[in-house]
Structure 1
Amino acid sequence: RVARFEHWDDLAEWNYGEFEGITTPDIRRSVPGWTVWSGPTPGGETPAQVGSRADRVIGRVLPYLERGDVALVGHGHMLRVLVVRWLELDPAFGARFVLDAGGLSILGHEHETRAVLRLNEPALNEPA
């Protein structure tokens, strides 16, 4: 097989709008209880909008899966939404799936049902 690399804008990280580069504790000083999953993101994306992008990625990947495995590389919050949309859950459920930087997750099927086969495995083994 020949590897094929493409850049897909739909895999870009969540657009945090005016909150880009600001930590959650700093945002919570003006918006108590804020989370990206449930709070406002002025000038940015809602969970539903990120979910729509994830749905487009999944739609684009499905034909490739008929021919073999596909590897996707992206950023944390977007990949969390991708996981839950693969499972056909609401994008806000991504809050319940934590992915570490460089972690490996495998989405697939158990019979005909979309499933998480592996989630957030370390990319490198930790030294003993």
Structure 2
Amino acid sequence: MLDLANSPRLRPAEAREAAHEAAALYARIGAPGDQSIADRRYVALAAAPHHYRPPNAGLGLLTPAEKRVAEILAGGATKKQAAGSLFVSFHTVDTQLRSIYQKLGINSRLQLVRAWDRYKATSN
């Protein structure tokens, strides 16, 4: 349930409910450490702004800088290589990649490659 609460594909209300249920389940089985983690996730979700973007809403949501990072990383480069070719810091690329994942509703490099391939196929 906690993994579900952390899913970027879930609407905020559903994620909060999953975190709340995870905390209750951990309490029932006597796992106070995990219950505390689930409780903190619930509080964070309750305090977060409630902006929902559907999964894979499209690369049109990305800034031009994020598109450049997405293109380089989808091409197989590491974050360090992308930073070098764009003349920015590793941390800038890392931050942009996290933003890309959030905006596209994805959570892996493989999903980024697939999204980028779909984007390139439709833009040609």
Same fold (TM over 0.5): no
- The structure with the larger Rg is 2
> Which structure shows the bigger proportion of residues in strand conformation?
1
Structure-1-length-normalised TM-score: 0.27
Structure-2-length-normalised TM-score: 0.28
